Amino acid sequence: MALNILNASPKYRNSLICCSPTTEVESDPSSSTSGCVSSADESYDSNYVPKSMANKKLKIHSAATKEEIERAIVQCKDCILNTSQCSDERKWLVRYLIELRLRLQELKDNDGEPRDSVAIKGHHFHQQVSPSNRKQYCDHCSGVIWSIVQGSYVCDNCNYLCHYKCVDFVCRVCSHIVMTEKGEYEMSICPEKGLAAQDYKCAECHTMLTFKNAWNEPRLCDYTGLYFCGTCHWNDMMSIPARVVHNWDWDKRHVSRCAYQLLMISWDTPYIDVESVNPRLFNFIAELEWVHKMRKDLQWMNKYLCACSEGTSLVSPLFHQLGDVNKKYSMSNLAAINDGSLETKLTELTEQCRSHITNCPLCAGKGYLCEICGNNEVLYPFDSGAIMCNNCNTMYHRSCWLRKGQTCFKCLRIEERKKQTDNVDNTELEYDIDKFVET
């Protein structure tokens, strides 16, 4: 029984070693996973302390008293005032100050009683009252969580799960905090620097890695390019944003636990600007180019619908997500483009909006008439057969625009009117000067 549980543990999944019955189910929380993180990549460095703050002894132990936390808060405030705005030191200090205040509040509220909620490393842990029926594993020690006899905490933001006894030794910053501060994905394909750059240690828990012992075999994370131990890398499979944007490669690859949680919580958030990262992708993926054009049309339709009381009902969540002016895509959007589901939804949405704008008297009255041909066909910025002047926003038929040598009649009238106004001003100035000389 114990052997089967150990073999099912993510720590030993796809490993070269064979678990023996004498192996412990859970490791000591204060052992390898409680160390500081390697400085190979500060964005995933859970225990990273800026060099200027390293000698100020701001860090406190997990069993710190109320007085020790209050002294650390005062010292942290002084350090914040002495740092420059928007610097890495100030960001770290502000986040650490919030954590200290939350821990102080926990001590005041609990007064030695079991904690229902814990705030540490940006996580907001709450004790699981009704755990899931499926088998759960601790993200800190990778051991099995026996929900009947063991208490456990789960983070509300990144779903980090750990034992009750492991919560004070968590060394991974909440993935929600990491992604919010960074605001974008890693757009380099597997930026591997090698084990030497990590000092042959795990990028998260600082455990020594070696090929001689399969127990601590290094596992490469395809998203970060860093190496992790078996406790921090469970061989989770995910599609990599950089490979999708550069090569439209949707094959899933092994990622670490921190990268897996980061990709999961940001899957539906638009962080990818395809037009700036890889604009040539539109030439190779016809579906992506079509969706990109529809997004531009939705931006124009939004201006019509927002000014109409009846048109606001058509502004659906999908409209808000794809009609945004930032032109960014989420991984879920790109996945829907790849499987063709987004094309169907977007076609129905654009047809409904187009039908309302063309049939609504208020919206149709804001259309344009082609000045070149002079017919009564109403033109809109989202029509494929129409083109807009970049200077005065006047609409023309594309064929009429090309036939007249791409010349805008309204711009010509504005220039002529400006010249006439300048001539009149010069004439009045000369007349006043002559009158002054004669007198």
Are 157 and 176 in contact by the 8 Å Cβ rule? The answer is: yes
Annotate 75-89 with DSSP letters as a single string.
HHHHHHHTS-TT-HH
Are 6 and 23 in contact by the 8 Å Cβ rule? The answer is: yes
> What's the average model confidence in pLDDT over 72-78?
83
pTM of the model: 0.67
* pLDDT tens by residue, 361-390: 888 888 888 878 878 788 888 887 788 887
Q: How confident is the model at residue 38 (pLDDT cuts 50, 70, 90)?
A: very low
Q: How confident is the model at residue 301 (pLDDT cuts 50, 70, 90)?
A: confident
Is the model's pLDDT at 3 over the cut of 90? no
Report the Cα 284 to chain-centroid distance in Å: 25
Supply the pLDDT for residue 14.
45
Q: How confident is the model at residue 254 (pLDDT cuts 50, 70, 90)?
A: very high
Q: Which of 166, 177, 171 is nearest to 136 (CA)?
A: 166
Beta strands at 123-127 and 252-255: parallel, antiparallel or unpaired: unpaired
Q: How confident is the model at residue 30 (pLDDT cuts 50, 70, 90)?
A: very low
Is the model's pLDDT at 261 over the cut of 90? yes
Q: What tokens does 58 get?
A: 């701001």
Contacts of 64 (CB under 8 A, 6+ apart): 72, 103
* pLDDT tens by residue, 263-287: 999 998 889 999 899 999 999 999 9
Is the model's pLDDT at 203 over the cut of 70? yes
Supply the pLDDT for residue 27.
37
Q: What tokens does 147 get?
A: 């929900």
**Cα diameter, the chain:** 117
Cα R_g (the chain), whole angstroms: 31
> Which CATH code for domain 1-42+127-266?
3.30.40.10
Using CA atoms, how far residue 426 sits from 421, 436, 437, 438, in Å, is: 9, 16, 17, 19
Structural domain boundaries in the chain: 1-42+127-266, 47-120, 276-366, 368-439
Supply the pLDDT for residue 316.
67
Supply the pLDDT for residue 188.
93
> What's the average model confidence in pLDDT over 314-333?
73
Q: What tokens does 46 get?
A: 């859970």
